[in-house]
Amino acid sequence: MKLLVVEDDPDMGGLVQRGLAAEGYDVTLVTNGVDALIALRSDTFSAAAIDVMLPGMSGFELCRHIREASNPMPILLLTARDAIEDRVHGLDSGADDYLTKPFAFAELAARVRALLRREPTGMRPQVSVGRLTIDSHEHQALVAGHEMPLSRREFTLLRLFATNPDKTLSRSDILESVWGTTENIGTNVIDQYVSYLRKKLDAAGAGLNIVTERGRGYRLDARNAVDTKRTTPGGDHVPSSHDTASTS
pLDDT of residue 119: 53
Domain that holds residue 132: 126-221
Number of Cβ atoms within 10 Å of the Cβ of 162: 25
165 touches 220 (CB < 8 A): yes
pLDDT of residue 184: 59
Task: Show which of 116, 138, 163 is a domain's final residue.
Answer: 116
Decide if pLDDT at 202 tops 80.
Answer: yes
Residue partners of 99: CB distance under 8 A and separation at least 6:
76, 77, 78, 79, 107, 108, 111, 184
77 touches 115 (CB < 8 A): no
Decide if pLDDT at 238 tops 60.
Answer: no
pTM tops 0.75, yes or no: no
pLDDT of residue 239: 42
Q: Are 34 and 132 within one domain?
A: no
With pLDDT > 90 as the criterion, what percentage of the chain qualifies? 46
Decide if pLDDT at 235 tops 50.
Answer: no
CATH number of the domain where residue 62 is located: 3.40.50.2300
Is 232 inside a domain boundary?
no
Question: Regarding predicted confidence, which is higher, 42 or 246?
Answer: 42
pLDDT of residue 123: 46
Count H helices and E strands in the chain, helices first.
8, 11
pLDDT of residue 54: 94
Average pLDDT score over residue span 145-163:
90
Residue partners of 144: CB distance under 8 A and separation at least 6:
131, 205
Average pLDDT score over residue span 203-215:
93
Question: Regarding predicted confidence, which is higher, 248 or 118?
Answer: 118
Q: Using 50, 70 and 90 to split pLDDT, how confident is the model at 139?
A: confident
81 touches 33 (CB < 8 A): no
Rounded Cα–Cα distance for residues 62 and 235 (Å) = 30
Rounded Cα–Cα distance for residues 89 and 214 (Å) = 27
CATH number of the domain where residue 146 is located: 1.10.10.10
pLDDT in tens, 70-126: 788 899 999 888 788 888 888 888 899 999 888 999 999 999 988 887 654 344 567
Phi-psi region at 222: left, alpha or beta (left = phi > 0; alpha = psi -120 to 50): alpha
> What's the mean per-residue pLDDT of the chain?
83
Is 191 inside a domain boundary?
yes
Is 231 inside a domain boundary?
no
Decide if pLDDT at 231 tops 80.
Answer: no
Q: Are 111 and 8 within one domain?
A: yes
DSSP state of 207: -
Q: Are 33 and 101 within one domain?
A: yes
Q: Using 50, 70 and 90 to split pLDDT, how confident is the model at 182?
A: low
